Amino acid sequence: MLNVTARHLEEIVKRLASLESKVFFGLNDASSWEIIDKAIYRDDDRPMEKIAADTERFFKFDFLTNGGESFNTSKSFIVSEGGWIRILFVEGDNSLDCIHVSVDAFRSTVQAFLDWVSLGGKQS
């Protein structure tokens, strides 16, 4: 099942530049989570047209949700700001956890994982 995760990560690396949005500038992690989660996953009183527009606008920030069997119990989002990546995720007890990492560190870590997967999980 790692090939599913690898494909998700490959796509995210390709669109890293699009993950920077003024919507999130200056917001804390919880506020950023709230915006994305409401836009994509919440069933509320928004008209269907608004739900569709919000989903289209914010789905690019979805990160590994349903991105392989190992992520079935979690929901996560990814945003970028000023050379930094914020990964926001909820798992198990529904408390929000966040990781902040430089874009370069994220890119190199993902590439190392992709290289490992392409070798069949063996070290080179």
> Could you give the CA distance from residue 92 to residue 75 in angstroms, rounded to a whole number?
10
Residue 57 lies in a domain: yes
For residue 112, the enclosing domain spans 2-118
Please choose, from the candidates 92, 84, 110, the residue with its C-alpha nearest in 3D space to the C-alpha of residue 32: 84
Q: Tell me the per-residue pLDDT of 9-22, one tens digit each, with 9 for 90 and over.
A: 999 999 999 999 99
pLDDT (0 to 100) of residue 25: 94
Residue 123 lies in a domain: no
Domain count of the fold of the chain: 1
∠ CA 74-67-65, nearest 5°, is 40
Give the mean pLDDT of the chain: 88
∠ CA 83-88-94, nearest 5°, is 170
pLDDT at 73 over 90: no
Residue 124 lies in a domain: no
The C-alpha R_g of the chain, in whole angstroms, comes to 15
pLDDT (0 to 100) of residue 45: 86
Residue 66 lies in a domain: yes
**What is the mean pLDDT of the segment spanning 74-100?**
90
Predicted structure pTM score: 0.85
pLDDT (0 to 100) of residue 85: 96
